[in-house]
Structure 1
Amino acid sequence: MQTQSRPLVSTSIGTRREFVSFHFGTPGAGEKIYVQASLHADEIPAMLTAWRLKQRLIELGNAGRIRGEVILVPVANPIGLSQHVLGQFLGRFELNSGHNFNRSFPLPAAATLIERIGGQWTQDADSNTRLLRRAVCKMLAEVKPKNEFESLRREMLIMAADADVILDLHCSLEATMHLYTSPASWPAVEPLARYLGASGVLLAADSGGQSFDEVHTQLWNEVRELLGQGTPLAAPNVALTVEHRGQRDVSYEFAQQDAEAIVDYLVYRGVIEGEPRELPPLNHPATPLAGSEQFIAPASGVVVYRAQVGAHLKAGDPVFDIVDPITDEVTTLTTKNDGVFYMRRAIRFVIAGAPMGRVTGAVPFRTGVLIGA
């Protein structure tokens, strides 16, 4: 294992933060895997899983079993980890700018990349893939970040841009294990969903948020469209977000279970030497993110959950009650979908218009931006 530490742009005199990564295996010896945890810094289950994964990768590396390259960043957001206001941990948004740490990631424009590569394009898809990845990394390295936030994004993009597989480990508020990925990545992601025991997989080519995992496949699609059929390009990076249940689901047992599932997946892909474990059954089919039902509170009051996260619901099943302790009115929200109740809010009081939770659905009906702030 090698440890790398890259200093971020200092925000203020006397302060300095670092982006720390751990490197296993040999670059170029096989697939490159990039794994980062807790980009939303208050999503701690991902960080503990990454810590356990690091111990396993050290063991596997010492045994000579790593056949590719694995980069692990257990703490992807040192900025957010320091954001405590009046005792409250605020790790989702950067306080200086208000930006969500996992939205609007900037990658070079597809047209600029094509022009940069110029006459080097070939008729070989794999060769063109290598050209594109090198060009993306070089253009990112040329970026001069103006502040700490921009420099953090630059470092993680440079490390991930030429990876074959990108795993972005998160968690939700209160949730069952679920994944977000693109339709193009889903066939390659399905074995991991099985090993993780995911209760939901949400598919979208463009959720509207430009999240870290999504921008890589989006760029690939844009380049492919501009190049046309005359210039072949291999499949895009396999990229996904793993939601390690809810924020309070921090335990050695969950971390061990999830880290072993990731190791199983790397064995399955041949990045780690060994006999792949038999694939477990898929808990729930992948469904379009545009088909998930988003519950919004129609009134304010005390929230009483009528369904547990991970429950398989039928259309018409009650999901929430909102109790007004002044008027005694009880408002019940039911689902329109047959699907899995995969996440819900953690606070048991709601204001009118607040998001409350989501149920998967097989039929897309939403358009525009599909993910929250």
Structure 2
Amino acid sequence: MQTKCHPLVSTTLGTSRELVSFHFGDARKGETIYLQASLHADETPAMLTAWSLKQRLAALEAEGRVRGEVVLVPVANPIGLSQHVLGQFLGRFEANSGHNFNRNFPMPSAAALIERVSARFSSDDAAHNARLLRGALVDLLGETRAKNEFESLRLALLTLASGADVVLDLHCSLEATMHIYTSPASWPAIEPLARYLGANGVLLATDSGGQSFDEVHTLLWNEVRERLGEKTPLGAPNVAATIEHRGQRDVDYDTASHDADAIVDYLIARGVIEGQAKDAPPLAQPATPLAGSQQLTAPVSGIVVYRAKVGARLKAGEPVFDIVDPISDAVTTVKTTNDGVFYMRRAIRFVYAGAPMGRVTGEKAIRSGVLIGA
């Protein structure tokens, strides 16, 4: 195992932070898999899973079983970890700018990337072209200069991930069942992982509108492929996904151990770790379009009483939650219009009118534009 430290730009006098990555195996021997945890710093279950995974990878490497390279960043957001206001942990947004840590990641353009390597493309070796483009992307990012700590964190994460064949961004929601966000192009490669993890929902979108960490890799690859056309072969698409490790309070050794074991099983199935791959269990739920998920909102303010458990499979018309007004005694019931899984919900129990309350998966697209929240 190699440990690498990546200093971030210092924001003020007397302060400094660094990003730490752990590297297992050798990229020259196979695929490179990149995993990072808790880019939203208050999403602790992902960090504990990454810690459990780190122990397993160290043991597997000692046994000589790592056949490619695995890059692991168990603490992807040292900035957010320091943000506590009056006892409240604020890890989703950067306090200085208000920016969401997982939105609007800047990537070099496809045109700039192609121009950098166009003279070296092969007319018949798709794998060579993929390696060439990934190397050029890392070089382009290396030539970028960050102006502040926030930008330097983003640049360090992008640089570490951009040479990888598979990018897995480990998160969690507020209160949720295990679910995954990925693109239709990545889904065939991610499906075994969904099975091993026991994902209770898989949401598919090519472009959710948020320029999140996983999507910028696949979107860039899509644009490169479109610009190159059929004359220049290109290897498999960048595979990327966001893994939502249930809810913020789902932090325990057994759960983290299960998820780490599932990721190892996936790496064995891909051939990155030597071993006999386990049979993947059946998919808990079929993949559905992210545009098909119903965003439930609070029509009035009041006390929230959930009537559906998170992870429950609901039928259209079933009640999901009530909002109780303790002044007027009015009770407002909100029902789903989808058949699907109630895969995530808010953690607080008093809401304002218009507050987003949770989502239910659905088979048919009912939304467009930006599909993810702030």
Residue 357 of structure 1 corresponds to: 358
Aligned-partner Cα distance in 2 for 1:207–1:347: 26
Q: Distance in 1 between matches of 2:90 and 2:73?
A: 20
Q: How does 1:213-362 map to 2 (within 5 A)?
A: 213-362=214-363
Q: 2: CA distance between counterparts of 1:55 and 1:128?
A: 34
- State the alpha-carbon separation in 2 of the partners of residues 56 and 128 from structure 1: 33
| 2:18 equivalent to 1:18 | yes
TM-score computed with the length of structure 2 as normaliser: 0.99
Task: Provide Cα deviations, 1:24-75, integer angstroms capped at 9, x if missing partner.
Answer: 1112111101010000000000000000000111111111111110011100
Q: Which amino acid aligns with 2:254?
A: E
Q: Which residue of 2 aligns with 1:145?
A: 146
1:87 counterpart = 2:87: yes
2 CA distance for matches of 1:234 and 1:302?
A: 52
Please name the residue that 2:121 is paired with.
121
Letter in 2 for 1:332: T
Deviation (angstroms), 1:122: 2.2
Deviation at 1:119, TM superposition (A): 2.1
CA distance in 2, matches of 1:317, 1:113: 50
Shift of 1:96: 0.6
Tell me whether 1:186 sits opposite 2:183 in the alignment: no
Bigger mean CA deviation after superposition, 2-11 or 225-234: 225-234
Stretches of structure 1 that go unaligned for 5 or more consecutive residues are none
> Can you list the C-alpha shifts for 1:203-253, whole angstroms capped at 9, x where unaligned?
000000000001000000011111222222122211000000000000001
Let me know the Cα RMSD of the aligned residues: 0.7
1:204-219 aligned within 5 A: 204-219=205-220
CA distance, structure 2, for counterparts of residue 235 and residue 182 of structure 1: 14
Q: Distance in 2 between matches of 1:273 and 1:229?
A: 34
Deviation at 1:278, TM superposition (A): 1.1
What SS does the corresponding residue of 1:78 show, helix, strand or coil? Answer: coil
Which sits farther off after the overlay, 22-31 or 200-209? 22-31
Superposed CA deviations along residues 96-132 of structure 1, whole A, max 9, x for unmatched, are 1110000000110111112222322221221211121
d(CA) in 2 for partners of 1:119, 1:65: 37
Structure 2 unpaired stretches of 5+:
none
The 1-side partners of 2:13 and 2:334 are apart by 51
| 1:275-312 Cα distance to aligned partner (Å, 9 max, x none) | 01111010000000000000111110000001001100
1:218 counterpart SS class: helix
CA distance, structure 2, for counterparts of residue 85 and residue 153 of structure 1:
23
Tell me how far apart the structure 2 counterparts of residues 115 and 164 of structure 1 sit (CA, whole Å): 21
Q: 4+ residue stretches of structure 1 with deviation over 3 A?
A: none
Q: Which amino acid counterpart does residue 204 of structure 2 have in structure 1?
A: L
Residue 155, structure 1, aligned to residue 156, structure 2: yes
Distance 1:304 1:119 in 2: 62
Letter aligned with residue 224 of structure 1: R
Q: State how far apart, in whole Å, the 2-side matches of 1:71 and 1:119 are.
A: 30
Q: Distance in 2 between matches of 1:121 and 1:274?
A: 35
* 3-state SS of paired residue (2:28): coil
Please state whether the residue corresponding to 2:304 is helix, strand or coil: strand
Q: Counterpart of 1:343 in 2: which secondary structure?
A: strand
Superposed CA offset, 1:1-32 (max 9, x none) = 11111110000111010100111111211110
**Which segment is superposed worse, 173-182 or 223-232?**
223-232
* Corresponding residue SS for 1:245: strand
Structure-2 residue corresponding to 1:70:
70
SS of 1:28's partner is helix
Q: Which amino acid aligns with 1:114?
A: I
Superposition pairs for residues 170-181 of structure 1, below 5 Å?
A: 170-181=171-182
How far the C-alpha of 1:354 sits from its partner, in A, is: 0.7
AA at the equivalent of 2:273? I
Q: In 2, distance between residues paired with 1:135 and 1:272?
A: 27
* Partner Cα separation in structure 2 for residue 2 and residue 293 of structure 1: 44
The SS at the match of 1:241 is strand
The residue identity in structure 2 corresponding to 1:139 is: L
> 2-side partners of 1:118 and 1:268: how far apart?
34
SS of the residue corresponding to residue 263 of structure 2 reads helix
TM-score (norm 1): 0.99
What secondary structure does 1:95 align onto? Answer: coil
The CA distance in 1 between the partners of 2:68 and 2:129, in whole Å, is 21
Match of 1:54 in 2: 54
- Alpha-carbon distance in structure 1 between the residues aligned to 2:64 and 2:119: 41
**Secondary structure of the structure 2 residue equivalent to 1:20:** strand
Output the CA distance in 1 between the equivalents of 2:333 and 2:76: 39
Measure how far apart 1:185 and its partner are.
0.4
